[in-house]
Homo-oligomer: A and B are copies of this chain.
Amino acid sequence: MLEDTEVRLGHGSGGVMMKRLIDGLFLEEFADEAALPGDDAAVVTLGSQRISMSCDSFVVTPAFFPGGDIGRLAVCGTVNDVATSGAKVSYLSCGFIIEEGFPLDDLRRICKSMAQAASEANVAIVTGDTKVVERGHADGIFINTCGVGVVPQGIDLSAKHILPGDKVLLSGTLGDHGITVMSQREGLGFSTSLKSDAAPLNHLIQAVLEAAPHTRCFRDPTRGGLSSTLNEFAASAGVDIEIQENAIPVLDEVRGACEMLGYDVYQVANEGKMVAVVPAEEASAALLAMRTSPYGANAAIIGDVVAERHDGRPLVRLQTAFGSSRILDMLVGEQLPRIC
């Protein structure tokens, strides 16, 4: 049930409030079987093939930041979402909503960045739309992208397929994107050499699928971070997940910034990382595939799937470096607005 009467920032957080909005409104009104499994992309039958389709709007502020910009995010974010289904991502649409007065040089820079990311991902931007709204009625530029691709026969990835005994893999360091964007915000500015990790991971996913053909599922831990991703996995499959703090790669600068600002690094957004769940016997092969991929050098096996043991409340548990453990909860409310 939705208890609010107004949309709040937390409804876009990737956490508990957003889940309530999706379950209590969107799924109620739009309920379609393809949308129900709760995965990042819809897999549907189109003519004689199964295709994967996913869209995302990007409202990040500032629009330019170390390691990327809103254009690179808009391509990588949607490519990654479609790719999590195992699809070969082929085409993107691109819708711009631009505030009157936005510099055309910035728009061109964003388009060049989109074209470069698309080229890297080997996808084509084939259709688009531009709307311009009056000064003060938007915030610079918003971009929506939608991606499609064919899901090869025999591929059926879903968090529902996760089983006790499976291993959880993470393709690299946590929190780089979220902390980088925060470090650029007026008023919150702090000095850092961090860069956003925004990257297209469709080739990494294909490499893992070849090496570990029984991979259960992928998800990119964007809004809501690793915590939301793992909690969604646990809930979908009715399992517990245990992860090891020692095993999770985090840059010192990110860890320091999180301590300073009071953020939980497991809830910070990433834009170039992938979480995969694979059967234990294929975990080493999957890890090697990640590590040999251009964006997976720091990949690690970070935890295990175990049977659910709390009376129908699937949990994610973090074993800390000190031997204690704590529950890793989904974000409640909004932590870092406008991060993507």
Contact = CB atoms under 8 A, between A and B. Distances in A.
Interface of A: 2, 4-13, 18, 21-22, 25-26, 29-30, 32, 34-35, 41-42, 44, 46-49, 51, 53-59, 90-91, 93-105, 107-108, 111-112, 114-115, 118, 124-134, 136-139, 142, 144, 146, 148-150, 334, 337-338
Contacts of A112: 29
B49 A48 contact: yes
Given A6-B103, A91-B44, A111-B25, A126 B11 contact: no
Given A55-B146, A126-B44, A132 B337 contact: yes
A146 B144 CA distance: 9
Contacts of A146: 55, 93, 95, 144, 146
A127 B54 contact: yes
Contact of A42 (B42, B126, B131): B126
B12 A130 contact: yes
A126 B90 contact: no
Q: How many copies does the complex hold?
A: 2
Contact of A129 (B29, B55, B126): B55
Contacts of A12: 98, 130-133
Contacts of A55: 93-95, 127-129, 144, 146
Nearest to A102: B7
Centre residue among A12, A93, A102, A150 by max chain B CB count within 10 A: A93
A132 B57 contact: no
Nearest to A21: B130
A74 to B, nearest CB: 11
11 contacts: A6-B100, A6-B103, A7-B98, A7-B103, A8-B100, A25-B104, A41-B127, A57-B96, A57-B97, A57-B131, A133-B139
A114 B53 contact: no
Q: What 4 A-B pairs come out closest when comparing CB atoms?
A: A12-B132, A146-B146, A55-B93, A144-B144
Contacts of A49: 46-49
Contacts of A10: 132
A144 B95 contact: yes
Given A53-B93, A55-B128, A104 B4 contact: yes
B7 A132 contact: yes
A101 B6 contact: yes
Contact of A104 (B7, B99, B132): B7
Contacts of A56: 95, 129
Centre residue among A46, A124, A134, A146 by max chain B CB count within 10 A: A146
A29 B97 contact: no
Nearest to A54: B127
A253 to B, nearest CB: 27
A224 to B, nearest CB: 13
A58 B99 CA distance: 14
